[in-house]
Amino acid sequence: MNITSTNLTLYSASPELLRAQLTSTAALAACLNAVAPDDWPSSETTIQDEIHLEYLERDPQLAGWLTWFAILTSTRQLVGTGGYKGKPENGVAELRLSVVPSCRNSGIATEMAIALTNWAFGQQGVSKITGRILATNRASRRLVTKAGFKEVSGPNEYGEFIYVIEPAAALQARTKAAL
Protein backbone atom coordinates (compact mmCIF):
# COMPACT_ATOMS: atom_id res chain seq x y z
CA MET A 1 0.00 0.00 0.00
CA ASN A 2 1.31 3.47 -0.79
CA ILE A 3 0.35 7.14 -0.70
CA THR A 4 1.51 9.61 -3.32
CA SER A 5 1.68 13.34 -2.61
CA THR A 6 3.24 16.23 -4.53
CA ASN A 7 6.86 15.33 -3.72
CA LEU A 8 6.67 12.09 -1.78
CA THR A 9 5.71 8.47 -2.04
CA LEU A 10 4.95 6.82 1.28
CA TYR A 11 5.05 3.02 1.60
CA SER A 12 3.17 1.27 4.37
CA ALA A 13 5.53 -1.05 6.20
CA SER A 14 4.96 -4.71 5.47
CA PRO A 15 6.72 -7.50 7.36
CA GLU A 16 9.08 -7.77 4.36
CA LEU A 17 10.03 -4.08 4.52
CA LEU A 18 10.48 -4.17 8.28
CA ARG A 19 12.70 -7.27 8.07
CA ALA A 20 14.79 -5.49 5.41
CA GLN A 21 15.06 -2.38 7.61
CA LEU A 22 16.21 -4.54 10.54
CA THR A 23 18.74 -6.35 8.32
CA SER A 24 20.43 -3.24 6.93
CA THR A 25 19.78 0.15 5.44
CA ALA A 26 20.96 -1.20 2.08
CA ALA A 27 18.41 -4.04 2.25
CA LEU A 28 15.56 -1.59 2.92
CA ALA A 29 16.71 0.73 0.13
CA ALA A 30 16.87 -2.21 -2.28
CA CYS A 31 13.32 -3.34 -1.38
CA LEU A 32 12.02 0.17 -2.00
CA ASN A 33 14.20 0.83 -5.06
CA ALA A 34 15.51 3.83 -3.15
CA VAL A 35 18.70 5.51 -1.98
CA ALA A 36 19.34 5.80 1.74
CA PRO A 37 21.04 8.90 3.15
CA ASP A 38 24.04 8.52 5.46
CA ASP A 39 21.95 9.63 8.45
CA TRP A 40 19.38 6.80 8.14
CA PRO A 41 18.09 5.21 10.52
CA SER A 42 18.18 6.16 14.15
CA SER A 43 18.38 3.46 16.80
CA GLU A 44 14.93 4.58 18.02
CA THR A 45 13.47 3.74 14.61
CA THR A 46 15.10 0.30 14.65
CA ILE A 47 13.63 -0.58 18.06
CA GLN A 48 10.24 0.63 16.93
CA ASP A 49 10.46 -1.46 13.76
CA GLU A 50 11.13 -4.62 15.78
CA ILE A 51 7.94 -3.99 17.73
CA HIS A 52 5.94 -3.15 14.59
CA LEU A 53 7.15 -6.30 12.84
CA GLU A 54 5.89 -8.39 15.74
CA TYR A 55 2.52 -6.58 15.69
CA LEU A 56 2.08 -6.95 11.92
CA GLU A 57 2.93 -10.64 12.00
CA ARG A 58 0.23 -11.13 14.66
CA ASP A 59 -2.34 -8.84 13.03
CA PRO A 60 -1.98 -7.99 9.31
CA GLN A 61 -4.97 -5.60 9.68
CA LEU A 62 -2.55 -3.17 11.34
CA ALA A 63 -1.04 -2.39 7.92
CA GLY A 64 -1.24 1.38 7.46
CA TRP A 65 -1.63 2.02 11.18
CA LEU A 66 2.05 1.61 12.02
CA THR A 67 5.17 2.65 10.08
CA TRP A 68 5.26 4.31 6.66
CA PHE A 69 8.56 4.89 4.82
CA ALA A 70 8.75 8.23 2.97
CA ILE A 71 10.71 8.60 -0.28
CA LEU A 72 11.35 11.82 -2.18
CA THR A 73 9.84 10.86 -5.52
CA SER A 74 12.20 12.88 -7.73
CA THR A 75 15.41 11.31 -6.36
CA ARG A 76 14.08 8.09 -4.75
CA GLN A 77 15.86 9.11 -1.52
CA LEU A 78 14.54 7.78 1.78
CA VAL A 79 13.71 10.89 3.80
CA GLY A 80 11.78 9.74 6.84
CA THR A 81 9.21 7.59 8.54
CA GLY A 82 5.81 8.35 9.89
CA GLY A 83 2.57 6.72 10.73
CA TYR A 84 0.40 5.98 13.67
CA LYS A 85 0.82 4.36 17.06
CA GLY A 86 -1.75 1.69 16.13
CA LYS A 87 -5.35 1.48 15.04
CA PRO A 88 -7.62 4.33 16.11
CA GLU A 89 -9.27 4.06 19.50
CA ASN A 90 -12.74 5.57 19.77
CA GLY A 91 -12.18 7.24 16.39
CA VAL A 92 -8.86 8.84 17.42
CA ALA A 93 -5.49 8.01 15.81
CA GLU A 94 -2.14 9.34 17.06
CA LEU A 95 0.30 10.53 14.38
CA ARG A 96 4.09 10.38 14.63
CA LEU A 97 6.75 11.61 12.19
CA SER A 98 10.52 11.52 11.85
CA VAL A 99 12.60 13.07 9.06
CA VAL A 100 16.31 12.40 8.66
CA PRO A 101 18.42 15.37 9.82
CA SER A 102 19.75 16.09 6.33
CA CYS A 103 16.17 16.66 5.07
CA ARG A 104 14.74 18.75 7.89
CA ASN A 105 13.41 22.27 7.37
CA SER A 106 12.47 21.45 3.78
CA GLY A 107 8.70 20.99 4.07
CA ILE A 108 8.97 17.20 3.87
CA ALA A 109 7.54 16.60 7.35
CA THR A 110 4.59 18.91 6.70
CA GLU A 111 3.86 17.12 3.43
CA MET A 112 4.13 13.75 5.22
CA ALA A 113 1.74 14.94 7.95
CA ILE A 114 -0.83 16.10 5.39
CA ALA A 115 -0.56 12.90 3.33
CA LEU A 116 -0.85 10.60 6.36
CA THR A 117 -3.70 12.65 7.82
CA ASN A 118 -5.64 12.53 4.55
CA TRP A 119 -5.08 8.76 4.34
CA ALA A 120 -6.34 8.22 7.90
CA PHE A 121 -9.45 10.32 7.38
CA GLY A 122 -10.19 8.14 4.36
CA GLN A 123 -10.41 5.11 6.64
CA GLN A 124 -13.70 4.16 8.25
CA GLY A 125 -14.40 5.53 11.70
CA VAL A 126 -11.56 8.05 12.06
CA SER A 127 -12.91 11.31 13.48
CA LYS A 128 -9.78 12.91 14.93
CA ILE A 129 -6.00 12.67 14.74
CA THR A 130 -3.73 13.77 17.57
CA GLY A 131 -0.03 14.41 17.94
CA ARG A 132 2.15 14.83 21.02
CA ILE A 133 5.15 17.11 20.70
CA LEU A 134 7.72 18.08 23.31
CA ALA A 135 7.58 21.73 24.29
CA THR A 136 11.25 22.09 23.30
CA ASN A 137 10.61 20.85 19.72
CA ARG A 138 9.51 24.15 18.20
CA ALA A 139 10.09 22.99 14.61
CA SER A 140 7.66 20.08 14.97
CA ARG A 141 5.13 22.30 16.70
CA ARG A 142 5.29 24.68 13.71
CA LEU A 143 4.98 21.88 11.17
CA VAL A 144 1.81 20.36 12.64
CA THR A 145 0.27 23.83 12.71
CA LYS A 146 1.09 24.20 8.99
CA ALA A 147 -0.55 20.80 8.44
CA GLY A 148 -3.78 22.08 10.03
CA PHE A 149 -3.46 20.77 13.59
CA LYS A 150 -4.57 22.95 16.50
CA GLU A 151 -2.91 23.02 19.90
CA VAL A 152 -5.42 21.82 22.50
CA SER A 153 -3.32 21.43 25.63
CA GLY A 154 0.13 21.49 27.06
CA PRO A 155 2.61 21.22 28.23
CA ASN A 156 1.52 18.14 30.18
CA GLU A 157 3.49 16.38 32.91
CA TYR A 158 5.81 14.94 30.23
CA GLY A 159 6.49 18.34 28.69
CA GLU A 160 4.31 17.59 25.65
CA PHE A 161 1.84 19.79 23.84
CA ILE A 162 -1.17 17.97 22.39
CA TYR A 163 -2.35 18.86 18.88
CA VAL A 164 -5.56 17.74 17.16
CA ILE A 165 -6.95 17.83 13.64
CA GLU A 166 -10.44 16.96 12.43
CA PRO A 167 -11.55 16.19 8.85
CA ALA A 168 -12.60 19.74 7.88
CA ALA A 169 -9.23 21.19 8.95
CA ALA A 170 -7.42 18.41 7.07
CA LEU A 171 -9.32 19.34 3.89
CA GLN A 172 -8.34 23.00 4.34
CA ALA A 173 -4.67 22.03 4.85
CA ARG A 174 -4.73 19.83 1.74
CA THR A 175 -6.33 22.61 -0.29
CA LYS A 176 -3.81 25.21 0.97
CA ALA A 177 -0.88 22.87 0.19
CA ALA A 178 -2.15 22.36 -3.36
CA LEU A 179 -2.18 26.11 -4.09
CATH code for the domain of 61:
3.40.630.30
Domain containing 156: what range?
2-178
Output the DSSP codes for the chain: -EEE-SSEEEEE--HHHHHHHHH-HHHHHHHHT-B--TT---HHHHHHHHHHHHHHHH-GGGTTSSEEEEEETTTTEEEEEEEESSS-BTTEEEEEEEE-GGGTTSSHHHHHHHHHHHHHHTSTT--EEEEEEETT-HHHHHHHHHTT-EEEE---TTSEEEEEE-HHHHHHHHHHHH-
Q: What is the pLDDT of residue 84?
A: 93
Number of domains in the chain: 1
Q: What is the pLDDT of residue 63?
A: 92
- Tell me the β-bridge partners of 160: 134
Predicted TM-score of the model (pTM): 0.87
Q: What is the pLDDT of residue 44?
A: 59
Question: Residue ranges of the chain with pLDDT lower than 70?
Answer: 42-45, 169-179
- Give the pLDDT confidence of 2-45 residue by residue, as tens digits: 999 999 999 999 999 999 988 888 899 999 999 988 888 755 56
Q: What is the pLDDT of residue 179?
A: 44
Q: What is the pLDDT of residue 69?
A: 94
